[in-house]
Amino acid sequence: MEQKTNGISLMSAILNNIPAEAGITRIEYEGPRIALYTKNPAFLHKNSYVISEIVSTLKKRVVTRTEKSIRKPESEARQALDKLIPSEAGPISYFFDDALGEITVEAGSPKALSQEAGFDLGGAMEKTGWKVKVRKAPHIQSTAIQNMNYAWKSGSDLREKFYRELGEAIFRPRLASTEHVTIKTLGGFQEVGRSCLLVETAESKVLLDCGIHPGTRNPWDAYPRLDWADISPADVDAIVISHAHLDHMGFLPAMFKYGYDGPVYCTEPTLPLMTLLQNDFVKIAQIEGGRLIYDQKDIRDAVQHAITLPYSTVTDISPDIKLVFNNAGHILGSATVHLHIGEGAHNIVYTGDYKYGRTQLFDSATWNYPRVETLITENN
Ligand SMILES: [Zn+2]
């Protein structure tokens, strides 16, 4: 079944494995994931083994989403949650993501909303008709997160369409049977800054990092050299960002300005950090009268195309490439990038910046990879 997990066979494999009580109404691609829409989210929440079994059969990422028709309007859903959430949870704020049908509850004390504390998350989903996620509220108001939420909210329709089309591109049948892979270095090799490399297979072109060289004003030395690979931003299928330093992601919004409209994969903490630094970069250029290679609109565009992934999770990012992020121990959210090409054909690990040895803030970088044929690493 694994070879034929696209299209109809994928859908029927899921439908055959799922009980009728789950209330599945449709199955759709959502970027690199498969989304099961349900009218009974509480059932799937209580019986999480149903989804686990599907995941282990299909070896794909599967998420559950609530059917739009059961989602209560925001004001009603807020009221329902206000009633359910105990005062011990501390100050609460909600973010409604219309594209995913997901409410993020930010709580001062998220422990009060855990299963151990007796909070009924499934019940909250049943009452609101939305998927409910809980996380810790930041200690101070974060404009980076507010900007990100605004970009997501204002682009909900676009994101919904983007996720679906991206899923169709990722899970399409492979066109070629060859498994060759080439790597072209477009910046950051034998120099510090503008890290960027292109991984190319018969099916896909993926950029790993997309940095600028902050120390130079000469454009030939400051930005990744896409011209060396004879490609334009529109030719790229996916961009993977290892961490939120400008020499690894400072050029990303410019890619969108000049025609890229594909996904940006990064970890969850990397996204707000990255937008914060890119916005600062624009502001400083405006103040200093420097060269503006993009503006806030392009940064927003990148956020609307971002797909955040947890560590240690295998994700299909093209018909022949799987991606896994692992902790790099360098800054918050920093990741090493592990690409698996084809069906066991080749493994590439691109470390980005990393640090061994535990610090007060981070665990040491992950070093234990089951198989690596090509290792690309920084050199101090
Ligand atoms: Zn760095």
* CA 278 to ligand 1 centroid distance, Å: 14
Per-residue pLDDT of 34-71, as tens digits, reads: 999 999 998 888 888 888 888 888 888 999 999 999 99
Residue 223 has what pLDDT?
Answer: 95
Torsion of the alpha carbons at 86, 91, 97 and 103, rounded to the nearest 10: -10
pLDDT tens for 218-230 read 888 999 999 999 9
Exposed/middle/buried for 218, CB within 10 Å: 0-12, 13-18, 19+?
exposed
φ, ψ dihedrals at 363, nearest 5°: -70, 165
Residue that has been written with the tokens 């292109």 in this structure: 198
Quote the mean pLDDT of the chain.
Answer: 91
Taking the centre of ligand 1 as the mean of its atom positions, its distance from the CA of residue 331, in whole angstroms, is 7
Rounded distance from Cα 50 to ligand 1 centre (Å): 40
Q: What would the pLDDT profile of 307-323 be if each residue is shown by its tens digit?
A: 999 999 999 999 999 99
Separation CA 354–CA 335 (nearest Å): 8
pLDDT at 380: 60
pTM over 0.85: yes
Cα(200) to ligand 1 centroid in Å equals 24
9 Cα to the center of ligand 1, angstroms: 43
Question: What would the pLDDT profile of 322-339 be if each residue is shown by its tens digit?
Answer: 999 999 999 999 999 999
Judge whether residue 1 has pLDDT over 80. no
Residue 31 confidence class, pLDDT cut points 50, 70, 90: very high
Residues in Cβ contact with 348 at an 8 Å cutoff, skipping those fewer than 6 apart? 181, 183, 199, 337, 338, 339, 341, 372, 373, 374, 375, 376
Task: Enumerate residues with CB within 5 Å of ligand 1 (an ion).
Answer: 245, 353
Q: How far is the CA of 202 from the centre of ligand 1 (A)?
A: 31
